[in-house]
Structures are given as C-alpha cells and as structure tokens.
C-alpha cells in the first residue's frame, strides 16, 4: 500500500504491487492554498451534551447559552494578569506567585466523617456480619479504620502542593506549546460546581498525561483539588508517602477482595465512605520521568482537554429507574439465529455484561449493578462524543481505507466530520496539515523520494499497519451509524450477488425496509456495547431507523416507489395508533406490529451516483478490522487449547491473529484489544463458557459449538458483514 506525494502536478492513481497506491496533491506555486478551519459557517460544533431523555433538567440548566461565542484558552499560560500584583519583578516570578494564590481546601475533618459514616458504624456496632459484634473489640476496629485511612491518604500539605504546582507549571511549559481548554465547557463545569453538590469527573485515560493535566487544569480554573484513586502497587513506598502528602489517595489491597472475605469488608466500607475526596496529582512523578525520557526537551507539542456537559446523578437515577424494560442476553438473542434454528429477531433489547466485575461492584444490589453499567454506557458515549478528531486519525484512515488523492479527501473528510456534529482538533493550511500529520506518523510510514518533487508514502507492514488501524478507529464513532448500515446492506446482498460483482448489478436489487431492519439488528447485537455506544434509553428499533435515515441522507440508498404504495416522503398521511400517541420518545418497539406494517411496502435501491461505490467501501472498511478479528476468532475455535484462563486464551488468539496477518497481509486485525473483544463477545454469545476451578475461572468451549459445523456457521454469520 503506497501513497504518492506529487510536487508539481496531480496524476491518476497508480497501481502498486499490493494494489493500494494513490496520489496525494500538487504543491506547485500556482496552486491556491486551501485553509482548513474547524467551523461550519461561523460556528463550531458543540459536542458532549448530556442525555436529553434521562437528564432533561441538566440538559437545559447546565448548558452555557453563549458557548458558541467563547473560544479556547491555554491553561499553562500564566502572565502578570493572572496574579494580584504588577511590575517587572512580578513578570519574572508570575509562576511562583500564581502557585501561592491557589486555594487548597482543607480536609481536617475527613477522618471523623468517615468514622461516623453508616457503613463503618454498622461494622462497629456489629450489625453487619464480620463487624465488631462477631469477636472484634470496637477499639480494635477503630484502630483498623485509622490504619486503612493512613494507607489511603494523609492530610495534604499546602506548601508541598503549591511547590509541586509551581514545578509542574514550569515543566508543562517546557513540554507543551499550549494546553487548550474550551472556555464554554469550563463554564458549564463551574456552573455545576456552584450548585454545592460534590463534583465527580470520569476520565477516559487516553494518555499518561491525564494524571498531570486534569488536576492542574481544575486547580488553575479555581475548582480546587482534583482527587483520584490510584493503585498502590504502581508506586514505590517512598513515592506513595510523597503523593499522600500532596493529597494522593491509594486504595487498600483489601478493597478488591471477594465479597465472602471478611478482611475486605471493613476496607470497602471505609473506601465507600471516603469516595468524595480522592487524591491529587496521581502518578505525576512517575509520568514525568517517563515523559522526560520519551520526549525530552527537544520538541514541544500541543495538547487539548475535552470536558463533556455535566449532569445531575440524582436526576439520572430517578429517570433511569422509570424506563427499564425487559432485556435478554446475547446468547438468547443471537445464538438461535446463528445456528439457523430461527430467523426472527426477538423483540427485546440486549443486556451485555461489558463492565469489569470487581469486588465493589459485586457488593451492590443487582438493580444497582445494572444502574452502574448503564450509567457507564452514558458516560462513555458522552466522553467519546466530546473528543475532537485529530489530523493523524484522518490521515491514517485515508492511508488504510480511502486510497484516493489525499489532498481533496482530507478536506472532504474534515467537512464530513463537522457536518455530523463532531469537532476537529486542528486548523491551518491544508498542505501544512498534511505534512505535519505525516511527520507524526513517520514511525509507521515510509517516505520515499522517487523523482524530483515526488514522494511515495508507504505504510510500514506489520506493527505499522496495526497502529494506523488503531488511529483510524477514532473516526468510527463519527461514521458509526453509516458503517453499521453499509455492513448490514452488505450482509443483505451477500446471498444475492457475487461479492466482486459490479456496483450496477447490486443497484438493481430491491431492498425492503423490514429486511434492512433485520440485518441492522443482527449486526447491532453482534457488535460490542463499548463500541456501539447505544444509550440504554434508546431502543434498538429507533436506532435502526436512525441508521436507515443516515444511509438515505448520505445518498447511498434511494427510495423506490412501488406501484400503489404511498410515497416514502409523504409524512403527512402517516397513521399513529393510540398506543404510540402517549408513549415517550424512544419507547417504540416491534411489539407494535401494526405501527410498522407500512414499512413492509417500502423498498430501497443502492444509489448509482459516481461517489457511492467508494464511499460504501470506505464505510464497510471502518468496521472490517473488528469483524475480521471476530471471523478469525471463530475459525480458531477448533485450534485453540481449551480449557484455559481468559488471559491465556487471549494470548493464544493473539498469536493466531499475528500468524494469519503474516500469511494474508491483514495486519489491521493483529491487535490484542480486538482479541479481547472477540473473546468477551463469544462468551456473551454462549460460544465460550467461564467455569470456576481451584486455580481460578477458566474458559471452556460450549458443547453447542464443539462441532465443526456450528463453528463454520458462526464464521459464515460474521463474514456476511465483511466487504472484501
């Protein structure tokens, strides 16, 4: 796979030995330089709004009205104006003076509040099994509480916090050109903090820098000290002592023990009582050392912090409990269809156990566990939606999938991202952006000068292609609905036309709306929940209609009017039954069969516009690394050595993916994360079963899929959605 950079003129795409070579752009002096801006007209897309269905009051009240008029600020830019003093000496000591003026809230009464909490008091009084009433003296329990608190955190030393803030500010200015923060996003967080309730921030932890940037950012914006839980095994004893004096918090090892362990009972009660204030500057020193060795001081980079819209947890709990409906596991939904035992998709939603099962989660009631899982899905969806797409992700996607002239495609793809309500984290001249993106990807691509002014860009095989696939996955949330729809259409056409058949032949076939709904539902159930990010308050059939609408809007599907049928765009004559008139938004299910009977007469064709074949292939290939990994995992079932632990079988599957990549040249699938995702999905599907053993839980092959025939059925079911 190669890409041509031309110096003076544009040429037609050439054929490389692997069949994947494209031209890029002309950089001649007569060319008009095109500027890329992250705006649609005058306004920038606002991202990361909370769920309007589950938290309507927060959606309205915690939104900053003039957010589109606010720009960005650099949180590491500290000047004379950021202090109370003025003068030439202040300009030289502004970092130090700024750190002295930061407010460090005291927490002297925290131990007393924790000891007076309900959970700890129940243990002291013996009302809980394993408490003081079962052989432990109250004084001994109090000493144990104090020991656990001493392990968790010490009283923060304001002088050390200010000194460390000053040193960190100087270090960040040596490392970064700027750290951008959207003023409107920060205004919403500050507005939520003024409400008086504790503010909880959840991070996606994209980089090691989160432990530095997030606490520093909130402290610099007047929100006080950010406190984060940290694993004590990740730091040495000396480092833990220093971080505790800076306000750090370390979970005791007993907190993650099993529920039947009496040792972890008191630790979990103390941790639960201490969950408003956690720790400051978590892992900062360890991260500083690794960053200094990795980057050094030779090149400074830019960074950007994204904040989603805050919402009231109390409001979410009340709304979420009122809209729970019946759900089934992936095994109940999909396994009979995979094995050919039935063709109808059950009329219910999928409940997938995709969150880690830990001791604190198991300590909750089943209803609360479900609430935590669905809240996690909401939070993850908002955090992914609020993240800006970077130029390296666009470049990696174009190198892997699009294979056209990168100059025009880069500009087109940026515009498509903005049109879908996502933000981009770059701007500038198009030629400079492409050069900068290639410089960041230089470890994964080879730049070859073939003649004067021309440059050949060749993605490096092996780990280089795997890394490009990881970067391109950042674009998947942007085009996820269209990608699901395109792969569903591919599955619908799989048994009707040859896979390599011409686009005109595929466009002749009529696709009914009910068939499209069914294929979209099947693919939705197959995809992992942390990838699909379908909100729990959104029904599957509403998502199916959203996918279908996106395919029509982007021009891939065209409505075909059959004789005697009502026009698809004639919405004025649509009939709503009495059952639908009173239902809340998103509460439409297939049980209302009379309300979807009109869909039986609606048909669509693939559009014959010139751009449609390439765009259709582009959308299908966005999901191809995951689907190919799933298909290869199905083919590996008869080779895998089971029973085995989950980590052991994951290593087996990953080695198989690497071996297959070497044979077929499909390195995009050789990713350990894809191997883990395949194993988790197969476990939920009933292909793999997890059973207890003296050495711990072990994976076994289900008796249903022990036969080679059923394994092939599973592989064929997955491969129908893959566009070769």
Question: Nearest-CA neighbor of 338 among 50, 682, 700, 665?
Answer: 682
Segment 430-456, tens digit of pLDDT: 888 888 888 888 888 887 777 666 667
- Exposure string of 37-75, with b = 16+ CB inside 10 Å and e = fewer, is ebeeeeebbbbbbbbebbbeebbeebbbeebeeeebeeb
The tokens of 44 are what?
Answer: 């920038």
Tell me how far apart the alpha carbons of residues 575 and 573 are, in angstroms, rounded to a whole number.
6
Query: What percent of the chain shows pLDDT beyond 70?
Result: 65
Bigger pLDDT: 643 or 118?
Answer: 643
Average of per-residue pLDDT across 102-127: 63
When mean pLDDT is compared across 58-62, 403-407, 640-644, the lowest value belongs to: 403-407
Average of per-residue pLDDT across 100-124: 65
Tell me how far apart the alpha carbons of residues 415 and 264 are, in angstroms, rounded to a whole number.
53
Question: Nearest-CA neighbor of 525 among 723, 335, 267, 241?
Answer: 335
Contact between residue 141 and residue 132 where contact means Cβ atoms under 8 Å apart? yes
Q: What is the phi-psi region of residue 440: left when phi exceeds 0, alpha when psi lies from -120 to 50, beta otherwise?
A: alpha
Residue 271 vs residues 114, 117, 150, 203, 224: alpha-carbon distances, Å: 9, 11, 12, 20, 21
**End-to-end Cα spacing for the chain:** 16
DSSP label of 400:
I
- Residue 431 CB partners (closer than 8 Å, separation 6+): 25, 27, 33, 407
With cut-offs at 50, 70 and 90, classify the pLDDT of residue 21: very low
- Edge-first strand order for the sheet with 176-182 is 72-74, 176-182, 301-305
Tell me how far apart the alpha carbons of residues 502 and 616 are, in angstroms, rounded to a whole number.
13
For helices 406-419 and 430-440, give the axis angle rounded to 10 degrees. Answer: 100
CATH class of the domain defined by 390-474: mainly alpha
Tell me how far apart the alpha carbons of residues 207 and 203 are, in angstroms, rounded to a whole number.
10
Per-residue pLDDT for 653 more than 90? yes
pLDDT computed for residue 582 by the predictor: 39
Per-residue pLDDT for 659 more than 90? yes
- The pTM score is 0.80
Segment 573-593, tens digit of pLDDT: 444 434 433 344 444 444 444
Mean pLDDT of the chain: 75
According to the per-residue pLDDT averaged within each range, which of 198-207, 353-362, 472-481, 560-569 is highest?
Answer: 472-481
Tell me how far apart the alpha carbons of residues 518 and 345 are, in angstroms, rounded to a whole number.
7
pLDDT computed for residue 620 by the predictor: 92
Segment 425-435, tens digit of pLDDT: 888 888 888 88
pLDDT computed for residue 15 by the predictor: 37
Per-residue pLDDT for 275 more than 50? no
Per-residue pLDDT for 648 more than 90? yes
Segment 301-360, tens digit of pLDDT: 778 888 888 999 889 888 877 666 667 888 999 999 999 998 888 877 787 665 555 555
Tell me how far apart the alpha carbons of residues 641 and 653 are, in angstroms, rounded to a whole number.
10
pLDDT computed for residue 524 by the predictor: 92
Q: Where are the alpha helices (DSSP H) in 442-590?
A: 463-472, 480-493, 503-508, 513-526, 529-532, 540-553, 578-581
pLDDT computed for residue 421 by the predictor: 87
Bigger pLDDT: 567 or 121?
Answer: 121
276 membership: H or E segment, kind and range: none
Burial class from Cβ neighbours inside 10 Å (0-12, 13-18, 19+) for residue 333 reads buried
With cut-offs at 50, 70 and 90, classify the pLDDT of residue 637: very high
Tell me how far apart the alpha carbons of residues 702 and 690 are, in angstroms, rounded to a whole number.
9
pLDDT computed for residue 445 by the predictor: 86
With cut-offs at 50, 70 and 90, classify the pLDDT of residue 239: low
Angle at 634 between CA 631 and CA 639, to 5 degrees: 130
For helices 158-175 and 284-294, give the axis angle rounded to 10 degrees. Answer: 20
With cut-offs at 50, 70 and 90, classify the pLDDT of residue 523: very high
pLDDT computed for residue 65 by the predictor: 73
- Work out the number of other CB atoms within 10 angstroms of the CB of residue 281: 29
Tell me how far apart the alpha carbons of residues 120 and 138 are, in angstroms, rounded to a whole number.
11
pLDDT computed for residue 444 by the predictor: 87
pLDDT computed for residue 678 by the predictor: 95
Query: Is the omega angle on the peptide bond into residue 477 within 30 degrees of 0, that is, cis?
Result: no
What 3-state DSSP class applies to 302? strand
DSSP label of 285:
H
Average of per-residue pLDDT across 279-297: 45
Question: Nearest-CA neighbor of 132 among 251, 143, 146?
Answer: 143
Q: What is the phi-psi region of residue 137: left when phi exceeds 0, alpha when psi lies from -120 to 50, beta otherwise?
A: beta
- Residue 36 CB partners (closer than 8 Å, separation 6+): 410, 411, 414, 426, 427, 428, 429, 430, 433
Contact between residue 217 and residue 76 where contact means Cβ atoms under 8 Å apart? no
Query: What percent of the chain shows pLDDT beyond 90?
Result: 22
Bigger pLDDT: 108 or 606?
Answer: 606
Segment 129-162, tens digit of pLDDT: 544 444 455 666 667 666 666 666 666 677 777 8
With cut-offs at 50, 70 and 90, classify the pLDDT of residue 26: very low
Tell me: domain 624-720, CATH 1.10.10, correct? yes
Q: In which residue ranges of the chain is CATH 1.10.10 found?
A: 390-474, 624-720
Tell me how far apart the alpha carbons of residues 400 and 377 are, in angstroms, rounded to a whole number.
29
Helix then strand then coil, in percent of the chain rounded to 5, is: 50, 10, 40
Average of per-residue pLDDT across 362-389: 81
Q: Report residue 4: phi and psi, to 5°.
A: -95, 130
Average of per-residue pLDDT across 24-45: 58
Tell me how far apart the alpha carbons of residues 437 and 23 are, in angstroms, rounded to a whole number.
16
pLDDT computed for residue 634 by the predictor: 96
Per-residue pLDDT for 663 more than 70? yes
């Amino acid at each position: 796979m190669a890409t041509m950079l031309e110096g003076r003129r544009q040429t037609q795409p050439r054929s490389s030995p692997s069949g994947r070579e494209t031209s890029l752009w002309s950089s001649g002096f007569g060319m008009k330089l095109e500027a890329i801006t992250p705006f649609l007209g005058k306004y920038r897309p606002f991202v990361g709004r909370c769920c309007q269905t589950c938290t309507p009051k927060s959606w309205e009240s915690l939104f900053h009205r003039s957010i589109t008029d606010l720009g960005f600020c650099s949180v590491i830019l500290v000047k004379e104006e950021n202090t109370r003093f003025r003068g030439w000496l202040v300009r030289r000591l502004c970092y130090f003076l700024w750190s002295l003026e930061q407010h460090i809230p005291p927490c002297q009464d925290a131990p007393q509040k924790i000891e007076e909490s309900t959970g700890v008091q129940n243990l002291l009084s013996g009302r809980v099994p394993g408490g003081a009433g079962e052989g432990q003296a109250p004084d001994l329990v109090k000493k144990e509480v104090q020991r656990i608190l001493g392990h968790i955190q010490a009283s923060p030393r304001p002088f050390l916090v200010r000194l460390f803030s000053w040193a960190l500010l100087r270090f960040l200015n040596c490392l970064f050109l700027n750290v951008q923060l959207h003023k409107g996003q920060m205004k919403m967080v500050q507005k939520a903090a003024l409400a008086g309730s504790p503010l909880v921030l959840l991070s996606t932890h994209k980089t090691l820098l989160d432990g530095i940037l997030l606490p520093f950012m909130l402290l610099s914006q007047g929100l006080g000290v950010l406190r984060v839980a940290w694993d004590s095994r990740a730091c040495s004893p000396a480092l833990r002592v220093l971080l505790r004096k800076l306000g750090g918090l370390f979970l005791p090892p007993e907190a993650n023990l099993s529920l039947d362990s009496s040792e972890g009972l008191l630790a979990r009660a103390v941790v639960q009582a201490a969950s408003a204030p956690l720790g400051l500057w978590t892992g900062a020193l360890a991260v500083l050392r690794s960053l200094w060795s990795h980057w050094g001081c030779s090149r400074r980079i830019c960074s950007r912090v994204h904040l989603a819209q805050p919402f009231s947890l109390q409001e979410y709990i009340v709304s979420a409990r009122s809209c729970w409906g019946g759900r089934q596991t992936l095994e109940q939904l999909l396994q009979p269809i995979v094995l050919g035992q039935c063709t109808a998709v059950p009329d219910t939603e999928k409940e997938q156990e995709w969150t880690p099962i830990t001791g604190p989660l198991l300590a909750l009631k089943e209803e609360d566990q479900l609430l935590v899982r669905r809240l996690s899905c909401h939070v993850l969806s908002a955090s992914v939606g609020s993240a800006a797409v970077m130029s390296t992700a666009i470049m990696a996607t174009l190198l892997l999938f699009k294979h056209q002239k990168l100059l025009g495609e880069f500009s087109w793809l940026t515009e498509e991202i903005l049109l879908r309500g996502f933000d981009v984290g770059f701007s500038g001249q198009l030629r400079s952006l492409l050069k900068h993106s290639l410089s960041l990807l230089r470890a994964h691509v080879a730049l070859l000068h073939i003649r004067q002014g021309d440059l050949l860009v060749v993605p490096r095989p092996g780990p280089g292609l795997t890394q490009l696939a990881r970067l391109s996955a950042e674009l998947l949330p942007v085009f996820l609905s269209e990608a699901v729809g395109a792969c569903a259409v591919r599955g619908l056409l799989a048994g009707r036309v040859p896979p390599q058949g011409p686009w005109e032949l595929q466009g002749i076939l009529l696709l009914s709306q009910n068939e499209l709904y069914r294929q979209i539902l099947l693919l939705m159930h197959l995809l992992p929940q942390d990838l699909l990010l379908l909100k729990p308050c959104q029904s599957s059939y509403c998502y199916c209609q959203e996918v279908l609408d996106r395919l029509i809007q982007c021009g891939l599907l065209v409505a075909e009017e059959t004789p005697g049928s009502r026009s698809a765009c004639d919405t004025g004559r649509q009939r709503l039954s009495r059952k639908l008139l009173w239902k809340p938004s998103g509460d439409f299910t297939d049980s209302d069969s009379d309300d979807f009977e009109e869909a039986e007469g609606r048909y669509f064709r693939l559009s014959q516009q010139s751009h449609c074949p390439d765009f259709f292939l582009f959308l299908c290939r966005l999901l191809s690394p995951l689907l190919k990994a799933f298909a290869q995992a199905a083919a590996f079932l008869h080779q895998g050595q089971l029973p085995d632990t989950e980590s052991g079988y994951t290593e087996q599957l990953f080695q198989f993916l690497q071996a297959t990549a070497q044979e077929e040249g499909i390195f995009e699938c050789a990713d350990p994360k894809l191997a883990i995702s395949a194993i988790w999905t197969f476990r939920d599907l009933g292909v793999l079963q997890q059973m207890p053993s003296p050495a711990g839980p072990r994976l076994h092959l289900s008796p249903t899929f022990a036969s080679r025939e059923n394994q092939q059925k599973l592989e064929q079911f997955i491969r129908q959605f893959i566009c070769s």
